[in-house]
Amino acid sequence: MSQSQSHAHRSSISQHSRSVSHFINDADELTDVELIRQVNDLKHQVKILTLENEIFERTIIRLEPALMHGIQQALDYANKLQSNSSLTVGSFVKSQTSRIGVLESLMSPSRMLTSPSRVSTRRVDSSGKLGGTVIFGTGPRINVLERSELVSAEMEILISNLERARYKASKQHALLKAQLEEIGVRVNDIEKASGSFNAQVLIEGWDKIAQRIPAEIWIRFMTEWMKIADSQIGKLRLRTSTLNTQFSKLKGQIKIKAELSESLRAIDFDKLKIENNECIEIIEKKLQQLGELKKMTGDANLNLAIHKKAMMEQNTYLTNIMNSIKTKEKLTAELDKERDRIQVQADILDQKLEEVKKIRQAYEVPDIMDYVCVKSEVTDLKHGIKLLENRLHIQQIALSSLNKKLHLMYVKT
């Protein structure tokens, strides 16, 4: 530590002590808000000093535990002072400052090799009064950079301890988990064996006539159970042997890698670096070729998409043509059927036409007087039919009236 840094640190401590003394002298002149703010600042400084003390104590214990004897005497002395007298805020801050000064003086490079006997204190007499002041050795103080280095070292140690504890906890957790799984498997096997024993021996094997369980059933159940257990043991042995083989193989690989790591030299790393550079160049060339291939593939895909689109259009046009052909074929078949029907009708009409022609050729027009006579006879016959229908209707009415009268006479009688 340089002389300028130690001087700056001492000046900061002296300024802090002067500010504290000034705060004690002017405490009566402060308002409540300012007093609360000052108290909170002092509490915050006390917390910071407490953390620094913890870091320094851990560092001293880790590097030179013998130096903690004097520190322990100073702490005991401060505890006695705190328990035997009511100190003010300024004296408490001064005691914390003196404690930090002790730790810093002990943690300085010039004091790390000193003996605890050099740290001298004055005893407290039996009445509990202060018998004197604490006198510590002087030396260079610890600056901010050294404090940060101490904090970083302690943090690294705590992180390594935490990682080690976490690793041990994970191993213990895995072991406990495996034990729980093993216990669960055993419980399931015991429950299955107990259930099968109760079902096959106690329930199904009970002889109602003899009121007992025959020995044959018991022996057969035990024999089958032993066979099943032997088969399971064989499977487990095979699995265990496989796992042992894999474990020995992995152990050999780890050993070979450790031997290779021990036999490696700087030239091997240089060689590996050169090979890696060559491989990187080859990979870059391959990547360039891959980029060109991707570009070619993109062009080919574009052409393929264009031709595929054209082919799809051609296929659509062909499908429409095929559908129209099928439609036209169906229409042609229907037209052929309709032509056949029309041809048949035309043949029938030709026959009828021929018959009509024959009838027309053979037909002779009758005389007009004969037609008039026939027409008058037809008119007379229609008039006679009309008269007969009227007479029939009248007779039906008379018959219905007679039936009603007969019905009434039958009802009265």
Q: What number is the average pLDDT over the span 205-213?
A: 76
pLDDT at residue 157, rounded to an integer: 87
Same domain, 237 and 210: yes
Q: What number is the average pLDDT over the span 196-210?
A: 79
Instruction: Place 56 in a pLDDT band, splitting at 50, 70 and 90.
Output: confident
Same domain, 238 and 132: no
What are the backbone angles phi and psi of residue 212, rounded to the nearest 5°? -160, 175
Single pTM value for the model: 0.36
Instruction: Place 155 in a pLDDT band, splitting at 50, 70 and 90.
Output: confident
pLDDT at residue 25, rounded to an integer: 52
For residue 137, how many C-alpha atoms fall within 13 Å in the half-sphere facing its CB?
A: 22
Mean pLDDT of the chain, nearest integer: 77
Is 183 among the domain residues? yes
Same domain, 40 and 83: yes
Convert the pLDDT of each residue in 276-332 to its tens digit: 999 999 999 999 999 999 999 999 999 999 999 999 999 999 999 999 999 999 999
Q: What number is the average pLDDT over the span 55-81?
A: 75
DSSP three-state, residue 171: helix
Is 278 among the domain residues? no
Same domain, 60 and 177: no
Instruction: Place 102 in a pLDDT band, splitting at 50, 70 and 90.
Output: very low
| C-alpha to C-alpha distances, 46 to 17, 36, 99, 198, nearest whole angstrom | 14, 15, 11, 73
Instruction: Place 212 in a pLDDT band, splitting at 50, 70 and 90.
Output: confident
pLDDT at residue 177, rounded to an integer: 92
With b meaning 16 or more CB within 10 Å and e meaning fewer, what string describes 211-245?
eeeeeebeeebeeeeeeeeeeeeeeeeeeeeeeee
Is 155 among the domain residues? no
Which residues on neighbouring strands pair with residue 285, listed in sequence order? Answer: none
Same domain, 87 and 27: yes
pLDDT at residue 109, rounded to an integer: 37
Same domain, 9 and 134: yes
Same domain, 136 and 186: no
Which amino acid is present at 10?
Answer: R
Token pair for residue 3? 């002389």
Same domain, 111 and 138: yes
| C-alpha to C-alpha distances, 159 to 167, 275, 381, nearest whole angstrom | 12, 37, 138
Convert the pLDDT of each residue in 234-285 to its tens digit: 998 999 999 999 999 999 988 888 887 777 777 877 888 899 999 999 999 9
Domain containing 344: what range? 283-364
DSSP string, 260-322: HHHH--HHHHHHHHHHHHHHHHHHHHHHHHHHHHHHHHHHHHHHHHHHHHHHHHHHHHHHHHH
CA angle 43, 136, 147 (to 5 degrees): 50
Instruction: Place 26 in a pLDDT band, splitting at 50, 70 and 90.
Output: low
Same domain, 7 and 137: yes
Same domain, 359 and 371: no
Residue of 85, 70, 186 lying closest to 129 (CA atoms): 85
Listed residues 262, 295, 319: the one ending a domain = 262
Same domain, 41 and 131: yes
pLDDT at residue 96, rounded to an integer: 45
Please count the other Cβ atoms lying within 10 Å of the Cβ belonging to residue 56.
22
The answer to whether 140 touches 4, Cβ cutoff 8 Å, is no
- Number of structural domains (the chain) is 4
Is 198 among the domain residues? yes
Q: What is the dihedral of CA 68, 70, 71, 73, to 10 degrees?
A: 120
Convert the pLDDT of each residue in 345-387 to its tens digit: 999 999 999 988 888 887 776 678 888 888 889 999 999 999 9
Same domain, 33 and 60: yes
